[in-house]
Structure 1
Amino acid sequence: MTNFMRLLKLCRPHYKAMLLGVFLTVLTVLANVGLLAISGWFLASMAAAGIAGVQMNYFTPAGIIRFLAIVRSVSRYGERLVTHNATFLLLSEIRVNVFATLSKLNNKDLAMNRSADLFNRMQNDVDALDKFYLNVLLPMLVALVCVPIVIAIIADFNVAVAMICLCGILLVGVGLPILLSQKLRRTAPQQTQRSAELREALSDMLTGQRELAIYQATDNQLAKCNHIQQNYNELLDKRHKALADSDGLSLIVVQLSMVASVILLVPLVHSGQLLNVHLAMLSLFVLASFETVLTLPNAFIQMPVALSAAGRIFALHDKLDQSQAEALAKNTNQPDGVEFSVAENFTALDLPDQAIGLTLQGVSYQYANDVLAQSQTANLHSTNSSVSNGIVNDSASDRYALKNVSFTIKAQQKVALVGPSGSGKSTLVNLLSGLWPEQEGHIIFNSEKGQNNTQKNQCVARDLSFEKRTKLMGILAQQHHIFDGTIADNLHYAEPNASVEQMQKACEQAQLGHWLHALPNGLNTRLGSAGRRVSQGQSRRLAIAQMLLRHPSILVLDEPTEGLDNQSKQAVMRAIIQAMGRSTVLCITHDPALLTNMDKVIWLENGHVRGEGTHQALLLAHEEYVALTTRF
């Protein structure tokens, strides 16, 4: 019921529209019940008057019937209009809420979910909640209002008939739904899960068509999709069968209740205790009264599915709350002996000509509950069990991607970061960018202002908002996404206010000048979905051009020359270094040509800093470093 109450909280902003929908639905149901009952009484009265040869006033009942018919039609139209609008408002509220949650989650939390699963939560799970108000909440509220009114009216004529009707209503509206809900409680989460799995499998098949064709595995993937589809269809069949059974059982209960009422009323009519025309009216009244609860079985069938989808959505909210609580708890810890400035006063925009340095103090990062990461780290430690630079590889450090990493990069320094695969380079980049939350230690930005650097300012990175950190720091990742649009569109993502001249200059610095001039449409050339119309090298250069437009104070390059030919490699790096002359550069690379041009090299191994110094000094001091950076 927790998810049910949380869904009700999401309904709160639109409660007026929802209550109006409940009122119109109640009006429609009561008008329909009254119309059928009064019509039965009117027809029976007209027949009795005709048999007896007496006159009766048929204008009043005819007018009431006409009035109820008009009320039913108008309220039904209004009910459909209002309830569907309320449903769309609720869906909009939920969808915006889910998107806002996803946008606030850090990349570590997002990385633990497949993109197809996240898309399924945004689309399929949210769409599943369109039935919550219409098919779950609305029937319950209508039944709570209408049933007492109907039973009270019947009891005014005959209490026994009212009790029969109430028992039938409770059986159809409470007993049968509870039975069906218990039957489908286990299948609802499975149905939601199978739906998500099917979309993920289809997404994998569409995105991996080339690999499937190369490995001739298309048939196997199709078989997997068909298997999931069959399981999903079986669960749907169970739900549809349960719905059909409920409709059949409800019809039986309704008919038996009406028959029981007739059997009870006939002796009363025969003895003169009840007017004969009331027999037809009460019989039809009992029959029509079940309209107040006939949709409840379907509501209880739909409720487990809606709550299961809501649970997957609220799981994202819970993950966000947990991440924010952990960040708040860690935010209270400041390094001893160091005072920091207010984060809001520290921004690259306030000091356009400033030099920004970087300091790491005891930074550690652990992949909690990540068996794959732990096993990879353990394998690395098993092959390097010796003591390196006084660092002992204990069993606890096996679970850390980074362990007590400390170093300082001065403003405008060009520093290379090297290390074998799994040494923690990518983890360090994610921490610097703020995409992953910090766990232990501190990342500190140092700014210097004034002609003689007389005014100094420093700030803990976690105190900066993500927006300010992205303006301060630029990341050229190894995997870069090209959006479906023109070259200019992709460049404008990096710098929305960039002019045509600035974009052309950035492309030329990134060694895209000749290619750009050869294109008939120039910057207006469309690149296709995920940049499929450009080569990997061109895509890499375009990412470099985007970064050149931003001019960040600190630039992090992850294998910047990967995918480039030897001729373009040096030209691109010279352009980057020249354009970023006032920036501090941290470059992840193993290219000897790039390492030679760096002011300092930081060598990571097993999540620790193995050594620092120039490239030449490390070559002379460590044979392992020679093997790491020498290309054969």
Structure 2
Amino acid sequence: MHNFIRLLKLCKPHTGMLLLGAFLASLTVLANVGLLAISGWFLAAMAAAGIAGVQMNYFTPAGVIRFLAIVRTASRYGERMITHNATFLLLSEIRVNMFKTLSQLNNVDLAMSRSSDLFNRLQNDVDALDKFYLNVLLPIIVALFSIPIVMAFMAMYNADVALVCFTSLMIIGVLLPTLLSHKLHQQADNETQLSAELRSELADTLSGARELAVYQAHAAQLAHCDSLSKQYNSQLYNRHKAIANSNGLNTLVIQLTMLASVFMIIPLVAIGSMKNVELAMLALFVLASFETVLTLPTAFIELPLTLSAAKRLFDLEDKHNSLAEKPNNLDDQLANQLADKSGLGLELSEVNYQYLGAKSKALSNINFAITPGSKVALVGASGSGKTTLVNLLTGLWPLQSGSLKLTTKQDNFELESLSTATRFKQLTIVAQQHHIFDGTLRENLRYAAFDATYEMLIEACENAELGSWLKHLKAGLNTRLGTAGRKLSHGQSRRIAIAQALLRQGNLIILDEPTESLDNHTKQNLLTTLEKIWADKTMLTITHDPAMLSRVDKVIWLEQGQVRAFASHAELMANEADYVELITRF
């Protein structure tokens, strides 16, 4: 019920359109019920008049029938247009909110989920919610609106028939669907989980086809997928079998109710308390009245599946909300102190980090301070904790213990106390794994600065040593880069990442192997340009490149998650043979 209410809240921005669609759907049902009932009376009356050889006014009932037929057609068209448009609007909003939630989760939450499962939530679970309005909410609203009206008109002719009909409506519309929904509730969770797992396994099978071929594991993986497919199909078979049985019971109840109403009316016609033409009318009226609840069984059947999909989506939203930032005024204080565009210092005290399930710490008692405006390199063998440290600084990993502080000339600020927006405004990051979006060069650059002018984009490209390449592009900044930058070399991709960083206004620059895949001439020109542009900024660079290490003020040497040394490159070269071997090997 909680998830049902949350789904209703998602409908709130489009309440007017949703209610209009429900009104048109109810009008269609009522017009159809009235059309069938009046048509039954009209045909019976015409037959009776013909047998008796008398005349009757057929213009009025024919006009009413034609009017109801027009109303039914027009309202059905309007209902289809309005309800489907409202559904698309609702789905669009759900997709945007879902993607927003995913984008704001930290890397721990994302890393704990398979990418194929997250994709399945974005696609399959969201698509499952397109049935919420059309197949769940709309039938309930139509039934609640239409049944009282139909029963009121039926009771005007015969209260007993109305009571029997109402009882059957409750059996078909509430009792049987509730029992079926209860039966399918647990199965719905299993079906959703199996569907997600099957999609994930199939996605992994395709993405890992090379590895499966190398290790000759195709057969085992396909057998696993086949097993999941059989389990999923078994769940589908059980659900459809239950639905078929329910449909059979519905048909039986409808036919028995109509027969019961006929047998109740015949004695009344025989004694003359009811006209004979009203027998056909009421019989068809009873039959048509079930249209008010015919879609309710589907609503109750779809409800568990919809709520199960909604639960998976809301679980991520709840996880994000539990990590939501608390408002504070430290952001403004930091912004005021950095109004002079000065560098931003960094101070780490007793920082520790251990991955879940790991026997040893990735970082152990890390202590160092970087003064504002200084240039510092971070070196260390693979697994020494460099990436973990950077992820802690950027907030992609949550701080477990210790203190991370940003320092200015006047004060210092706990990094964890700042909002994510302020943190990333002050940090400029060039990661080692940099994603190029499937768009133009202009669009990719503007992800870093949406308000950047043409001149700013060109200048950033030139400073990132992309000027000569850009001049040879026929479409210039409008050149499409392809999916994941497949039209680029690795060196060009790195320089685009640096160009994006140059468009930012951060006061602490974090670079992860910025000169990787660059030739010596390009590298030297680029380093000289970066030193000039970011002269007043604080730079923390992960690198083992001697050309870059010789340009920094200090080097932080990490080894097995601890700071082995914090000194200048020249001092380490003169006194540490292991350091010489480390940067030479890399």
Normalising by structure 2, what TM-score? 0.88
1:546 maps to which of 500, 514, 520 = 500
Distance 1:41 1:478 in 2: 79
Match of 2:297 in 1: 297
Kept after mapping to 2: 8 A contact 1:551/1:580: no
Deviation at 1:218, TM superposition (A): 6.1
Match of 1:485 in 2: 439
Are 1:375 and 2:357 counterparts? yes
Worse-superposed segment, 524-533 or 620-629:
620-629
Match of 1:472 in 2: 426
What code does the residue aligned with 1:48 have?
Answer: A
Worse-superposed segment, 93-102 or 168-177:
93-102
Distance 2:444 2:21 in 1: 46
**SS of residue matched to 1:561:** coil
Distance 2:476 2:288 in 1: 71
Kept after mapping to 2: 8 A contact 1:362/1:403: yes
Residues 294-443 of structure 1: matches in 2 within 5 Å? 294-324=294-324, 327-328=325-326, 342-347=330-335, 351=339, 353-365=341-353, 373-376=355-358, 378=359, 381=360, 398=361, 401-443=362-404
Match of 1:531 in 2: 485
Stretches of structure 1 that go unaligned for 5 or more consecutive residues are: 333-340, 367-372, 382-397, 449-455
1:294-352 Cα shifts (integer Å, max 9, x gaps): 1111111111111111111111210111111xx43xx88xxxxxxxx842143399635
Distance 1:282 1:304 in 2: 36
Are 1:576 and 2:530 counterparts? yes
1:80-110 Cα shifts (integer Å, max 9, x gaps): 2332232223223322322332343333333
Are 1:180 and 2:180 counterparts? yes
Distance 1:24 1:498 in 2: 49
Deviation at 1:625, TM superposition (A): 5.4
Kept after mapping to 2: 8 A contact 1:507/1:542: yes
Deviation at 1:7, TM superposition (A): 0.7
Distance 1:67 1:483 in 2: 57
2:414 maps to which of 460, 464, 467 = 460
Distance 1:519 1:92 in 2: 36
Deviation at 1:138, TM superposition (A): 1.3
Distance 1:503 1:145 in 2: 59
Stretches of structure 2 that go unaligned for 5 or more consecutive residues are: none
1:116-150 Cα shifts (integer Å, max 9, x gaps): 33333233222211111111111112212322333
Distance 1:604 1:467 in 2: 29
Change beyond 3 A, Cα 1:240–1:209: same
What code does the residue aligned with 1:351 have?
Answer: A
Deviation at 1:493, TM superposition (A): 3.1
Change beyond 3 A, Cα 1:56–1:486: closer
Match of 1:390 in 2: none
Kept after mapping to 2: 8 A contact 1:348/1:471: no
What code does the residue aligned with 1:418 have?
Answer: V
Change beyond 3 A, Cα 1:518–1:50: closer
**SS of residue matched to 1:533:** coil
Distance 2:39 2:452 in 1: 75
Distance 1:510 1:211 in 2: 37
Change beyond 3 A, Cα 1:67–1:512: closer
Kept after mapping to 2: 8 A contact 1:348/1:553: no
Change beyond 3 A, Cα 1:518–1:62: closer
1:412-462 Cα shifts (integer Å, max 9, x gaps): 2221223444443222212322344445444332334xxxxxxx3543334
Change beyond 3 A, Cα 1:509–1:181: same
Match of 2:126 in 1: 126
RMSD of aligned C-alpha atoms? 3.3
Distance 1:127 1:612 in 2: 54
**SS of residue matched to 2:536:** coil
**SS of residue matched to 1:604:** strand
Distance 1:524 1:293 in 2: 56
Change beyond 3 A, Cα 1:497–1:599: same
1:508-530 Cα shifts (integer Å, max 9, x gaps): 65455565566565655433211
Are 1:92 and 2:92 counterparts? yes
Distance 2:419 2:372 in 1: 21
What code does the residue aligned with 2:429 have?
Answer: I
Distance 1:439 1:357 in 2: 21
Change beyond 3 A, Cα 1:118–1:344: same
Distance 1:528 1:502 in 2: 23
1:202-254 Cα shifts (integer Å, max 9, x gaps): 54455556656666666666665555445444433433333333322211211
Change beyond 3 A, Cα 1:291–1:488: closer
Change beyond 3 A, Cα 1:195–1:483: same
Distance 2:54 2:471 in 1: 101
**SS of residue matched to 2:510:** strand
Change beyond 3 A, Cα 1:507–1:268: closer
What code does the residue aligned with 1:426 have?
Answer: T
Distance 1:60 1:440 in 2: 84
Kept after mapping to 2: 8 A contact 1:359/1:444: yes
Change beyond 3 A, Cα 1:486–1:208: farther
Deviation at 1:473, TM superposition (A): 1.8
Match of 1:386 in 2: none
Kept after mapping to 2: 8 A contact 1:343/1:459: no
Distance 1:14 1:505 in 2: 45
Are 1:288 and 2:288 counterparts? yes
1:465-492 Cα shifts (integer Å, max 9, x gaps): 4344333221111111122234444334
Match of 1:4 in 2: 4
Match of 2:266 in 1: 266
Aligned residues: 586
What code does the residue aligned with 2:99 have?
Answer: F
Residues 22-37 of structure 1: matches in 2 within 5 Å? 22-37=22-37
Kept after mapping to 2: 8 A contact 1:41/1:278: yes
What code does the residue aligned with 1:375 have?
Answer: G
Distance 1:232 1:307 in 2: 18
Deviation at 1:271, TM superposition (A): 3.6
Distance 2:536 2:206 in 1: 44
Kept after mapping to 1: 8 A contact 2:350/2:403: yes
Change beyond 3 A, Cα 1:66–1:500: closer
Deviation at 1:171, TM superposition (A): 1.8
Kept after mapping to 1: 8 A contact 2:573/2:579: yes
Change beyond 3 A, Cα 1:570–1:219: farther
Deviation at 1:293, TM superposition (A): 0.8
What code does the residue aligned with 2:357 have?
Answer: S
Deviation at 1:354, TM superposition (A): 1.6
**SS of residue matched to 1:494:** coil
What code does the residue aligned with 2:185 have?
Answer: R
Distance 2:576 2:100 in 1: 49
Match of 1:388 in 2: none
Deviation at 1:626, TM superposition (A): 6.2
Normalising by structure 1, what TM-score? 0.82
Distance 2:402 2:171 in 1: 63
Change beyond 3 A, Cα 1:526–1:264: closer
Change beyond 3 A, Cα 1:67–1:607: same
Kept after mapping to 2: 8 A contact 1:416/1:602: yes
Change beyond 3 A, Cα 1:19–1:591: same
